[in-house]
Structure 1
Amino acid sequence: MIVMLISDESKVERQYIVRFSKDLAARQTEESWQMIECAAIPELVKAVRDKIRTDIICVDITIPKALELTMELRKNTPSAYIILIASPSISPMTYMRPSIGAESLMLKPLTREQIQEVLSEALGTYIRRFYKPDENKVFVLENKGGRDLIDYENIYFFESREKRVFLNTGVREYGFYDTLEQLEERLMEGFIRCHRSFLVNRNKIEKIFLSQNRLLLKDDFEIPLSRTYKPRLKEFMARGDI
């Protein structure tokens, strides 16, 4: 599923962006799309707080606090394609910065022609990226409903249970068929096997309790540590990789 978030207090602009994006998506992909509309800042705040996974973000930064919230959205989904709606009265130095990483820009007053031109290029670029992703940056999850691209930075751990593997992002869980052995080989040292049922993102490890046979990840996730994998974990600690 491809998730697009549109934040614009102008109902006319927002609805046209949604309508045109849906039409373009239907013509260019067979994937299912979810459009999240934020008509006011509190709704955008909620999207940030809930760490909603987004693939494409379109935000009107002429609204107070919208620019700061866009930075948070970028942190939540590093690989998202960001489209900014700005004004000629706002200096580009304000929003053209690495912490936002916007790839497309629309300037007010918006016209249908401008919206169509920018969205056509933006969605076309993202769709090509979606089908040929950089697998060094995102985990590609294939399922019956299509595919999801999940930033490695957002993955806390993989858990094997019920004859499936579950990917946990801290706010959502994705189930799929695979084995931790194959994932461990594929993901290399960015993820560490600590138990026969768990493969964890080493960047999410907060504390290691060797005597208690457990790991504490960010956001208070506790993961068991088995004797079998304790020596390898000690090697990572000795090298300073954890």
Structure 2
Amino acid sequence: MISFLAYTKSKNELTLLKQTVTDISSVLNDEDLKMYGFSSRDKFEKFLENCPVLDISCVDICGNGGIDYAKKVRSTNKDMSILLIVDLSLSPATYIIPSIMAASLLIRPFDRAAVKNVLDTVLKDYCEYFEQEDGGKSFVVETREGKQLVPYSGIVYFESRNKKIFLGTDNEEYSFYGTLDNLEETLDDRFIRCHRSFIAAKKRISKIVLSKNIVVLDNGCEIPLSRSYKGKVKEAIQI
């Protein structure tokens, strides 16, 4: 599954972006497309409060707050491709910066041909990256809807419940079939087993409360710590 975000204050531009990315992705990749589209500033700001995992974003940075929007989207999606909608009144020095890392630009005024040219390149690059499974930077969740790449850097925990595994990020949960025993064998030392039903990202553990047998994550979530894993967790996590 490819997740695509488009934000522009122009409803016509938004329609054009949606139509173009749908047309191109249907030809390049057989994965489903999950689209998030906004022309309302208020709705977009609300969306950013719990920004999900994104593969590609197109953000209008013209006007007040535009640069901050792009920074926010990037901060919660380190590995995505982001293209910016700009105009000639903006100095490149304001947006060609490490905290945004734009893959490409759409310069106003633009037409359908320009949109197709830019999106075609960005989507082709993404599909090649996707097929290579990004060199181990992301965990691949396979569902009936297709594949979803979730950057390891954004994973908070894995939980086993209801005969499925649930991958938790700060804002979303993805489910797939499997066992934690098998999953544990494939994960590297960025993750640690805390309980028969939980594997946590080490860097997201803020403290261990031995008296309550819980591990507290940096987002406030508490997960159980079983006696059989207590020694291993204490040794691995120096907090």
What is the TM-score of this pair, normalised by structure 2? 0.94
Matched with 2:195 is 195
Q: Tell me the number of residue pairs that the alignment of Structure 1 and Structure 2 aligns.
A: 239
Partner of 2:210: 210
Letter in 2 for 1:37: G
Work out whether 1:36 is the aligned partner of 2:36: yes
Give me the whole-angstrom Cα distance separating, in 2, the residues matched to 1:110 and 1:178.
Answer: 47
- The answer (yes or no) to whether the contact 1:13–1:110 under 8 Å persists in 2 is no
Identity of aligned residues (%): 38
Match of 2:75 in 1: 75
After the TM superposition, which residues 58-97 of structure 1 pair with which residues of structure 2 at under 5 Å, given as runs? Answer: 58-97=58-97
- Partner letter of residue 210 of structure 2? L
Aligned amino acid, residue 50 of structure 2 = D
Q: 1:75, 1:183 → 2: CA distance?
A: 28
| Cα deviations by residue, 1:79-110 (Å, 9 ceiling, x for unpaired) | 11101111222111111111111111111111
Q: In the TM superposition, what are the counterparts of 1:139-178 in structure 2 within 5 Å?
A: 139-178=139-178
- CA RMSD, Structure 1 to Structure 2 (Å): 1.5
Q: Which runs of 5+ in 2 are unaligned?
A: none
Q: CA deviation at 1:31?
A: 1.2
**Does 1:129 pair with 2:129?**
yes
Deviation at 1:135, TM superposition (A): 4.5
Inter-partner Cα distance in structure 2 for 1:48 and 1:166: 23
How far does residue 172 in structure 1 lie from its aligned partner after superposition? 2.2
1:34/1:133 CA distance change after superposition, 3 Å: same
SS at match of 1:188: coil
Q: Deviations over 1:56-100 (max 9, x none)?
A: 100111132121121111121211110111122211111111111
- Counterpart Cα distance in 2 of 1:177 and 1:204: 24
C-alpha distance in 2, partners of 1:102/1:199?
A: 34
| Residue 14 of structure 1: aligned partner | 14
Contact 2:142/2:148 (8 A) holds in 1: yes
The letter for the 1-side match of 2:148 is D
After the TM superposition, which parts of structure 1 deviate over 6 Å for at least 4 consecutive aligned residues?
Answer: none
| TM-score, with structure 1 as normaliser | 0.93
- Name the SS of the counterpart of 2:26 in structure 1: helix
Per the TM alignment, residue 214 of structure 1 is displaced from its structure 2 partner at its CA by: 0.5
Q: Is the 8 A contact 1:193 1:200 kept in 2?
A: yes
Aligned-partner residue type, residue 185 of structure 2: E
Mapped contact 2:106–2:114 kept (Cα < 8 A): yes
CA distance in 2, matches of 1:155, 1:57: 20
Task: Give the deviation of 1:111 after TM superposition.
Answer: 2.3
Query: Residues of 2 paired with 1:54 and 1:64: CA distance?
Result: 23
CA contact (8 A) 2:170 2:219 kept: yes
Most deviating of 175-184 and 55-64: 175-184
Task: Give the whole-Å Cα distance in 2 for the aligned partners of 1:8 and 1:16.
Answer: 11
Q: Which residue of 2 aligns with 1:219?
A: 219
